[in-house]
Amino acid sequence: MSIVRTRFAPSPTGRLHIGNIRTALFNWLFARVNSGSFILRIEDTDTARSRFEYELSIYEDLKWLGLDWDEGPEKGGEYGPYRQSERSAIHKAAAVRLVNEGKAYKCYCTKEQLEDLRAEQASAGMPPRYDGRCRNLAPEAMPSNAPFTVRFRVPEKDIRIMDGVHGLLAFDSRNIGDFVIVGSDGVAAYNFAAVVDDALMDITHVIRGDDHLSNTPRQLLLFEALGLKAPLFTHIPLVLGPDKAPLSKRHGSFSIEDIREQGFLPEAVVNTVARLGWNPGEGLMELDELAALFSIEKLSASPSEFDVERLKFYNKAAIQKSRAERLIELSSLSTAGHPENAAQVVEAVKGNASDLKELKELALPFLTEPETGVEEAKELSEPYARAVVKAFREALEGMAEINLDAYKDMVEAVKASTGEKGKRLLMPLRLALTGRHAGIELAGVLRLLGKERAIDRLRKYE
């Protein structure tokens, strides 16, 4: 058996999103479980929309998720170059060969002619399909110095593919029509460039979305015409949103960059995406654990729904599992105020955090002096609140140490002396100590602040 070689071939025309990352992840996992190679290829032939900034974001997102590539930009390799724009001479040579062998031809149809053809077919209720008007042009009928595209001469035949998820699929080439493989600008079309590059890079397996199924028969015809070996294809159903429609921007922002900025950890994203069409089992798993379990045979042929709540669930688990030092770095948490107990603070609050933003909010009152908002200050100015704060400060001053029993004794003492209970008893204390309405349990707040800092904060609001 040949060495497994998979690839992820994104176009740098936008940010990577959940669907892209699932494709990258499944190809990465398949390469790793088979001790193969995972190749990154940048398909940047769409010159009008490709941006170098998007290419850089692709590298950043993959590295953040832990999806390292064995060959590709920044790594190199013996099958390079790994940007399609740098492989144009290779594509051109393959196209010239097909023309010379009579398997492709020059098409001089103008954009206006093709638009008229499509309009005629649409009005007749026919699917759009090139009518082959340039297919058998005699050399003397070819206009000189006129722009042209190169079209593949589609043979009439049945096309069969054994798909990794869908099983045996059949296509009739007569429904395809001669398609463009090189544009009038000399740039190879997607289907042609992908075929040439997959073959010359020895790609053995391609795992991609169902939206590429219509490309597959065209690509198989090109592999055959070029005498090149096709990889084994696996097409997975598209990811759906809550409305059961394919995931898109209308469902919210699901780019990896946005998800990262929302405070999600990479392992939460990986574990959520891994379960879109595959079931590795329960619990938060490391990449190497997922790789050991991965199998194309276990991929689902049914569409899967992206569930934000599942992402939040795995994120909370990832935060609880992470070391405090890592969480401090990921959240860019400022520890300038009290760096000596930053790790202790993060360890204490991380169980209450569902994302890094929330973690930061929970930790900040213990690392910097809290700023009380207008609403909070108004609540603390109420006479009952001032009485509670003062009574608690006096009780705290009489305590030798702060522990759970001492905290309970203080709460009971304040309750007895002020007559307050419930929210009117505990909220003024939380606001005075942290400046926030929510957070970790008050006993934990006192332990993290320590007796002297707690007394200083309470005294401001008596």
Cross-strand pairs, 5? 37
Q: How far is CA 351 from CA 265, 270, 334, 355, 361, in A?
A: 15, 21, 19, 10, 13
Cross-strand pairs, 167? 163
Cross-strand pairs, 198? none
8 A C-beta contact, residue 342 and residue 394: no
Q: Which residue, among 182, 196, 187, has the nearest Cα to 226 in the 3D structure?
A: 196
Q: Amino acid identity of 371?
A: E
Q: Amino acid identity of 84?
A: Q
8 A C-beta contact, residue 419 and residue 455: no
Q: Amino acid identity of 277?
A: G
Q: Which residue's entry shows tokens 């940048």?
A: 42
User: What is the SS3 assignment for 11-80?
Assistant: CCCCCCEHHHHHHHHHHHHHHHHCCCEEEECECCCCCCCCCHHHHHHHHHHHHHHCCCCCEECCCECCCC
DSSP run (H or E) holding 327: helix 324-331
* Residue 443: exposure state from Cβ atoms within 10 A (0-12, 13-18, ≥19): middle
Determine the Cα angle at 31 with ends 3 and 319, to 5°: 160
User: What is the SS3 assignment for 336-395?
Assistant: CCCHHHHHHHHHHHHHHCCCHHHHHHHHHHHHCCCCCCHHHHHHHCCHHHHHHHHHHHHH
Distance CA 400, CA 381 (A): 29
Distance CA 32, CA 130 (A): 42
Q: Which residue, among 59, 79, 56, has the nearest Cα to 69 in the 3D structure?
A: 59
State the catalytic residue, choosing from 63, 249, 421, 460.
249
The two three-digit tokens of residue 377, written as one number: 């200050």
Packing angle between helix 423-434 and helix 356-367, nearest 10 degrees? 80
Whether 415 sits among the annotated catalytic residues: the reply is no
Residues identified as active-site: 249
